[in-house]
Structure 1
Amino acid sequence: MKKAFFIVSVLFYVNSYSQSESKKAKILEMISLTGVDKIGVQMMDNIMNSFRNRDNSIPDDFWIEVKKEVNSEELINLYVPIYDKYYTEEDLENLVKFYKSPTGKKVTSIMPQMMNESMEIGKKWGQELAQKVIQKLENRK
């Protein structure tokens, strides 16, 4: 009986391990297809440029060395558990199919522009709303 339980346990472990590796591969593919892997690099570049603009006395060699030390795969590996938490393997299969389709490719190509435009509109809307609130508060006096 113990031997049968052990064999079933090992088979269950092997099956769940292969499923998790399969799911991880799909997650990594989706991250690549959606360009999320490039976002980390862009964030790093933006941060470095911000530091450069604050202090021009730091030589370019320093920034080149810093960039060499940054491992974007490290960030991607931090994303994997989040995707694993929210998506089933079937979800990932469907998403990968979608992002490989012409429409999916269009979504990923225009999303950064759409997000920028949406943020600008949201910023303007928020400023206008803040002005209305300030005006209402002043009218209460």
Structure 2
Amino acid sequence: MTGAGDMAVQMMEQMIPSMKRMMPDAPEAFWVEFSKQVDGDELEDMVIPVYQKHLTQEDVDAQLVFLKSDAGQKMIQAQPLIMQESMMIGQQWGLQLIQRAQETLKASAE
């Protein structure tokens, strides 16, 4: 209902350019085939037991009531954009942390 599988596919598609840089010798045909194998339903099936481990059926039922509400529908619609923007912020934050670590290491070596 939340489109989590679709968001996972979107995240993977955003990661492919980085993966291509890590594997520069892989031909484009490899990446085309790789993309075809990305299946959000497969991930959903793998994650369902995690939800079952931590949530009761009553918890899930309550969430479904919310997700069917106007506010829940708005959240479902906004979630892909929230994830995309959050990933970009996370990448920037990671780069900042690496830069700080490098500066600290350089300063301690001087």
- TM-score above 0.5, yes or no: yes
Distance in 2, matches of 1:71 and 1:124, equals: 28
Q: Does 1:55 align with 2:27?
A: yes
Q: Does 1:100 align with 2:72?
A: no
2:85 corresponds to which residue?
117
Distance in 2, matches of 1:102 and 1:134, equals: 47
Superposed displacement of residue 70, structure 1: 8.3
- The verdict on how the C-alpha distance between 1:123 and 1:72 changes in structure 2, with shifts beyond 3 A counting, is closer
Of 77, 83, 86, the residue aligned with 2:51 is 83
- Please report the RMSD computed on the Cα atoms of aligned residues, expressed in angstroms: 3.5
- Higher CA-based Rg: 1
3-state secondary structure, aligned to 1:34: coil
Structure 2 counterpart of 1:122, one-letter code: G
Superposed displacement of residue 74, structure 1: 5.0
- TM-score, normalised via structure 1 length: 0.53
Moved more, 98-107 or 116-125: 116-125
Structure 1: give runs of 5+ residues left out of the alignment: 1-32
Distance in 2, matches of 1:71 and 1:119, equals: 20
Distance in 2, matches of 1:115 and 1:70, equals: 18
Structure 2: give runs of 5+ residues left out of the alignment: 21-25
